[in-house]
Homo-oligomer: A and B are copies of this chain.
Amino acid sequence: MKPVRKRANSSLSAEDRLIARHFKPLARHPGAFGLVDDAAVLTVPPGHEVVLKTDAIVGGVHFFADDPADAVARKALRVNLSDLAAKGAKPAGFLLSLVIPRSIDDKWLKLFARGLGADAKRYDCPLFGGDTDHTPGPATISIAAFGTLPAGTMVLRSGARPGDRVIVTGTIGDAALGLKLRQDRAAARRWKLDAAMRRHLAARYLLPDPRNALAEALRRHASAAMDISDGLVGDFGKLCRASGVAAEIEVARVPLSKAGRAACAAEPKLIETALTGGDDFEVVASIPPAKLSGFRAAAKRAGVPVTEIGRIAAGSGARFHAADGRLLTFAHASYSHF
């Protein structure tokens, strides 16, 4: 391959025009300088720190090439927002690195920018700057997101202590089942899903629903937390390792959606998919017992469903107990790209 850079025909390059047309309207924060400078400025409130996160999504790997462009944009931002939520940070803004094949047209970009703008507004997380490039490969969207919080209060993975309760938000496994469904449409009949259930699982894969509304409650009450992006079993295992603790989890208490319950009833082995599949973008956290009721009340005020699924113990390793007391083992704890 030879690097070839195309020349522009006017004093405003095509890249400048693309940015001005599609992305400048999103850069309303004064620190973004309307995207006409080389860099942006983020002001941090006194006594606060910046929480930094980057995550990329790649066409054909994290999303389908024919997914709607607005959903792709929103997914790219939301996978990062989900981490800020779990860490207890308030979104402050993001940088966008957009690498696209030449086959992507203006209509796609317009829709992409519209989706991105809608979520930037929804989560109060403005675009600060970015970079656009062409690639002979698939569309690749890397976002670096920034949040702020009072200094020293980021919720780590490493703070869980024996006796803490383990909670998860929302429902687990929908996105992994939604992906399976998309790859094998016949599965919907085997799993006895009605149209609403199919739509629910598909939507949960297409677009995560990050729990930023819960960030402040987590920051005030959680001893440890992380978002679940690669499956509950594997990700919670990482939290236990980082904290140097064990845990007892009751699988029967893990919240499943109506569609998830239907699928697992039809094919019981799907519970493994639900527990180890990726793309939940829910939060798993440990809450000291004394803070549990305060946390529950705060979660209720935030409108985020939370479910207690077990507790932290001394030792090492998270154990998942079936309803009959049997200990579940998993061939693969989580998805991995490598």
A residues engaging B (CB < 8 A)? 1-11, 13-18, 33, 36-44, 46, 49-65, 83-84, 86-87, 89, 93, 95-97, 99, 128-138, 140, 142, 144, 146-147, 151, 154, 156-158, 179, 183, 226-227, 230, 234, 237-238, 242, 276, 278, 331-338
A-B contact pairs, 7 of them (CB 8 A): A5-B337, A14-B336, A41-B49, A41-B50, A44-B44, A54-B144, A97-B97
A142 touching B135 in the complex, CB below 8 Å, given contacts A4-B61, A41-B51, A52-B41: no
Evaluate contact between A9 and B332: CB separation under 8 angstroms.
yes
Q: Tell me the minimal C-beta distance from A126 to chain B in angstroms.
A: 12
CB atoms of A133 and B49 under 8 A apart: no
Chain B's closest residue to A61 (CB) is B3
Give the number of times this chain occurs in the complex, counting copies. Answer: 2
**Are A6 and B142 touching (Cβ within 8 A)?**
no
Contact yes or no, A136 B133, CB < 8 A: no
Q: A144: which B residues are within 8 A, CB to CB?
A: 52, 54, 95, 97, 142, 144
Query: Of B16, B87, B96, B137, which contacts A140 at CB under 8 A?
Result: B137
